[in-house]
Amino acid sequence: MDATLDGDVVRAGGDARQRFYDSRGYGRPTGSGVALAPVEAAHLLYRDDLDAVDGMGFREFLATDDRLVIRFLVYKDFRERGFYLSPAREDWVADPDPATDLVVYPQGKGPWDDEVRYRVRVAGERESVPATDLGGVVLAVVDEESEITYLETTRPAIEGGTDYDPSHTSGDLLADRVVLWDPPQNLYERGFFGQRLAGRGAEDGPLQLSLVEAAHLAREGILDLDVDPAAVVERGREVEGERFDRRLTVYAALRSKGLVPKTGFKFGADFRTYSTVETVENLGHSENLVRVLPAGYAFGPRELSLDARLAGGVHKRTVFALTASSGAIDWLAVERIRP
Amino acid sequence: MDATLDGDVVRAGGDARQRFYDSRGYGRPTGSGVALAPVEAAHLLYRDDLDAVDGMGFREFLATDDRLVIRFLVYKDFRERGFYLSPAREDWVADPDPATDLVVYPQGKGPWDDEVRYRVRVAGERESVPATDLGGVVLAVVDEESEITYLETTRPAIEGGTDYDPSHTSGDLLADRVVLWDPPQNLYERGFFGQRLAGRGAEDGPLQLSLVEAAHLAREGILDLDVDPAAVVERGREVEGERFDRRLTVYAALRSKGLVPKTGFKFGADFRTYSTVETVENLGHSENLVRVLPAGYAFGPRELSLDARLAGGVHKRTVFALTASSGAIDWLAVERIRP
């Protein structure tokens, strides 16, 4: 069967509606024919279900648009996994979102049903993806060798169950950390602030705080220092610039929501978080790896792949905290999936 | 026992030589006394083996130098792991290297022996570390909460056993990949170039090459394209800038050494490498994750931690290819260790 290009759709007549739409969910019906998006036409050409579009075979048709190759690869992959799917075009699907390329139906369902399994955005590994476009979509990244990585992005609720009010204390600023020489007993054991100078097993003795922990406690009026409390924030800015302010904002937000943030350095993240800490002695596993980024950030797919891969390997979830200078935070979780 | 500060050493007299050097490997003997580096004096103060240095206790002494805290934390950690160690000072140890802070002896050995277990460089998580300083040292990174991550850095031999000469072929440049519509049978199956358009299990049909694979084969005179071969490199530079040239240099070097590089995207790396490929059907695991960086690069410890952690989790090794515009490559391997 041949088809013709008509603007940005491919039209097939004859029994095309029955063959392509009714039985296999391609395109949209137009009388007894169908209107196909280029990616659908490419797939039908690839499968030899269409012979030509305006005389072009698969090879020629694929070369008509630079974006068509990677969309085709993702479209084909979902089809091979047993899904029907539609291009997220205006008037073709409910709630088309300009950040979405494809709408994937649950297995066994199709465009004639009204269920959606995934909303998919397609990106090449070299395209940058604004954080604001993510949150309700699966990002399908086609890498340079045409392998596809699926990253599910969501807007997670950040809620923990830690309930602890630290009591007043004092300490010294030492380079880029703070030492409490005589800390309240519970500050570490119940609040999981800092680390014992003597190491993990120690039950008492001096406590080291990170700059961000110290700045938070100083702002809350809980920590007195040998220097002006503003000096801690200044020290942080000296070593990290504006990033320190963003990290402090996120640290305070996590604590206020009942989570306990600790350094995520060993995982290359800003923080790891524990949702509920009763005592450090009975600590569970941390659940999230939090990376703090400025609002308006655009991701390179490679960094998303790296973070999500590492987090998956240690059974944690990557959460990005997109932090505006106003202090507003958008939380974005990213996890690798296999559709 | 009290000691006195004398320039950049701390001097202790009386029976200090016997107590500190002979029996426990602190400092260097000077008659019946010892000369101690500040980090050693701090540790002796911390352990109450020294009472004071010029009237200063541990708390006051630690505040005398901003760099002392993190060096003390690493020094203390090695002592607690059962090692003796010395500051890598001129005249104190053999081959002191300005990039090294501490020399650690094998367990059971000390400064009076001539064996070295680790040469250690100490860094705070916010300091940047030039790649040229690494290669023969263990980088001890003290994170903001004073936990220590040990990264062993080496200059690895890059040698593989893949023996394959591709035969001549042709293809089309399609956006940022190349499709060989009728590839030689062995190019994929023996050489592991590209990926079948039909997917992993396919035994024949069109082959997709990445830009870097295509540029390499075009330069070697093996691949004819529908465009000038320079257009592939140009396309690569359009999407990646100079990074594409560096990646192509490293790709060619790996192939020439008998390794097979494939994309490392799923691991956030430039390449994963297979040391010996006989056939794709009997492929082993890839051993290295290669990241390509410009010569003269300085690492943030956080990225080293992230890369080494991820690679360790998938039983691979992180290898950095520091690539000069001349084409010279320094290979640097980084692995997490527990001393």
Residues A117 and A24 grouped into a single domain: yes
B198-to-A37, B2, B21, B282 alpha-carbon distances in Å = 21, 77, 70, 19
pLDDT, position A203: 83
Tokens at residue A49, please? 């279900």
Q: Residue range A208-233: average pLDDT?
A: 93
Which pLDDT tens digit goes with each residue over A10-67? 999 989 999 999 999 999 999 889 999 999 999 999 999 999 999 999 999 999 999 9
pLDDT, position A93: 83
Which pLDDT tens digit goes with each residue over A167-186? 999 999 998 899 999 999 89
Whether residue B212 lies within 8 A of chain A, CB to CB, comes out as yes
Report which secondary-structure segment, H or E, holds B172: strand B169-174
Residues B105 and B192 grouped into a single domain: no
Residue A316 covered by a domain: no
How many helices (H) and strands (E) are present in chain B, helices listed first?
Answer: 10, 22
Domain final residue pick, A124, A139, A173: A124
A299-to-A47, A302, A320, B201 alpha-carbon distances in Å = 35, 8, 11, 32
Preferred mutation among B74, B146, B196, B262 to probe A, highest tally of A CBs within 10 A: B146
Nearest CA in chain A to B302: A268
Name the pLDDT band for A222 (thresholds 50, 70, 90): very high
Tokens at residue B210, please? 């990445």
Which percentage of chain A shows pLDDT scores above 70? 100
Name the pLDDT band for B91 (thresholds 50, 70, 90): confident
- B302 → closest Cβ in A59, A268, A310: A268
Set of chain B residues whose Cβ sits within 8 Å of the Cβ of A210:
144-146
Residue B264 covered by a domain: no
Residue A141 covered by a domain: no
CB A208 to CB B124 under 8 A?
A: no
The burial of B300, by beta-carbon neighbours within 10 Å (0-12 exposed, 13-18 middle, 19 or more buried), is given as middle
Residues A16 and A97 grouped into a single domain: yes
Indicate the SS3 state at residue B96: coil
CATH code (residue A172)? 3.40.1170.20
In this predicted structure, the answer to whether residue A96 has a pLDDT above a threshold of 90 is: no
| Domain coverage including residue B82 | 2-124
In this predicted structure, the answer to whether residue B57 has a pLDDT above a threshold of 80 is: yes
CB B306 to CB A310 under 8 A?
A: yes
**How many angstroms separate the CA of residue B201 from the nearest CA in chain A?**
12
The Cα A208–Cα A186 span in angstroms is: 14
Tokens at residue A100, please? 């979405």
Residue located via tokens 């084969």 = B217
pLDDT, position A185: 84
Q: Which phi and psi (to 5°) does residue A222 adopt?
A: -95, -25
CB A144 to CB B211 under 8 A?
A: yes
Whether residue A318 lies within 8 A of chain B, CB to CB, comes out as no
B263-to-A205, B89, B171 alpha-carbon distances in Å = 50, 44, 20
ipTM for the assembly: 0.91
Q: Residue range B145-158: average pLDDT?
A: 96
In this predicted structure, the answer to whether residue B290 has a pLDDT above a threshold of 90 is: yes
Which pLDDT tens digit goes with each residue over A238-251? 989 999 999 999 99
Comparison of pLDDT for A77 and A185, the residue scoring more: A77
Sequence-distant (≥ 6) Cβ neighbours of residue A150 within 8 angstroms? A138, A139, A140, A141, A336, A337, A338, A339
Name the pLDDT band for A263 (thresholds 50, 70, 90): very high
CB A208 to CB B263 under 8 A?
A: no
Which pLDDT tens digit goes with each residue over A113-130? 989 999 999 999 999 999
CB B310 to CB A313 under 8 A?
A: yes
**How many angstroms separate the CA of residue B265 from the nearest CA in chain A?**
6
Residue B180 covered by a domain: yes
pLDDT, position B316: 96
**How many angstroms separate the CA of residue B131 from the nearest CA in chain A?**
18
- A176 → closest Cβ in B126, B268, B269: B126
Residues B110 and B175 grouped into a single domain: no
The Cα A322–Cα A254 span in angstroms is: 13
The Cα A88–Cα A100 span in angstroms is: 6
pLDDT, position B96: 80
In this predicted structure, the answer to whether residue B201 has a pLDDT above a threshold of 80 is: no
The burial of A151, by beta-carbon neighbours within 10 Å (0-12 exposed, 13-18 middle, 19 or more buried), is given as buried
A151-to-A182, A296, A334, B314 alpha-carbon distances in Å = 47, 19, 6, 19
pLDDT, position A29: 94
Half-sphere exposure of B26 (CA within 13 A, CB side): 30
Residues A74 and A169 grouped into a single domain: no
Domain final residue pick, B65, B96, B124: B124
CB B143 to CB A194 under 8 A?
A: no
Name the pLDDT band for A91 (thresholds 50, 70, 90): confident
Residues A184 and A238 grouped into a single domain: yes
Q: Residue range B67-84: average pLDDT?
A: 97
CB A63 to CB B195 under 8 A?
A: no
Preferred mutation among B265, B304, B316 to probe A, highest tally of A CBs within 10 A: B265
Residue B119 covered by a domain: yes
Which percentage of chain A shows pLDDT scores above 90? 90
Catalytic residues of B: 274, 285, 316
Catalytic residues of A: 274, 285, 316
DSSP 8-state class, residue A17: I
Residue A8 covered by a domain: yes
Nearest Cα to B122, choosing from B136, B143, B101?
A: B101
Phi-psi region of A147 (alpha: psi -120 to 50; beta: other; left: phi over 0): beta
| Domains contained in chain B, number | 2
How far does CA A60 lie from the centroid of its chain?
A: 36
Tally of CB atoms within 10 A around B125: 22
Residues B113 and B57 grouped into a single domain: yes
Nearest Cα to A205, choosing from B68, B125, B40, B58?
A: B58
Tell me which of A83-97, B36-50, B52-66, B115-129 is least confident: A83-97
pLDDT, position B34: 96
The Cα B268–Cα B262 span in angstroms is: 12
The Cα B81–Cα A282 span in angstroms is: 25
Which pLDDT tens digit goes with each residue over B239-269? 899 999 999 999 999 999 999 999 999 999 9
Q: What is the mean pLDDT of chain A?
A: 95
Query: Could you tell me if A84 and A110 are in contact, meaning their C-beta atoms sit under 8 angstroms apart?
Result: yes
B17-to-B23, B69, B169 alpha-carbon distances in Å = 9, 25, 75
Query: Could you tell me if A243 and A270 are in contact, meaning their C-beta atoms sit under 8 angstroms apart?
Result: no
Query: Could you tell me if A176 and A239 are in contact, meaning their C-beta atoms sit under 8 angstroms apart?
Result: yes
Domain final residue pick, B92, B124, B156: B124
Whether residue A199 lies within 8 A of chain B, CB to CB, comes out as yes
The Cα B331–Cα B154 span in angstroms is: 8
Residues B73 and B178 grouped into a single domain: no
Sequence-distant (≥ 6) Cβ neighbours of residue B1 within 8 angstroms? B12, B14, B16, B19, B49, B50, B51
What is the bridge-based pairing of β-strands B52-53 and B2-6? parallel
In this predicted structure, the answer to whether residue B179 has a pLDDT above a threshold of 90 is: yes
Q: Residue range B164-177: average pLDDT?
A: 93
Residues B86 and B23 grouped into a single domain: yes
- B239 → closest Cβ in A126, A212, A213: A126
In this predicted structure, the answer to whether residue B226 has a pLDDT above a threshold of 90 is: no
Whether residue A268 lies within 8 A of chain B, CB to CB, comes out as yes
Residue B13 covered by a domain: yes
Residue B152 covered by a domain: no
DSSP 8-state class, residue A56: B
Nearest CA in chain B to A151: B266
Total residues belonging to chain B: 339
Q: Residue range B313-332: average pLDDT?
A: 96
pLDDT, position B20: 96
Which pLDDT tens digit goes with each residue over A300-310? 999 999 999 99
Query: Could you tell me if A16 and A33 are in contact, meaning their C-beta atoms sit under 8 angstroms apart?
Result: yes
Query: Could you tell me if A109 and A129 are in contact, meaning their C-beta atoms sit under 8 angstroms apart?
Result: no
Q: Which of residues 3-62 of B touch A (CB under 8 A)?
A: 59, 62
pLDDT, position A31: 85
Residues A23 and A109 grouped into a single domain: yes
Residues B101 and B8 grouped into a single domain: yes
Residues B112 and B9 grouped into a single domain: yes
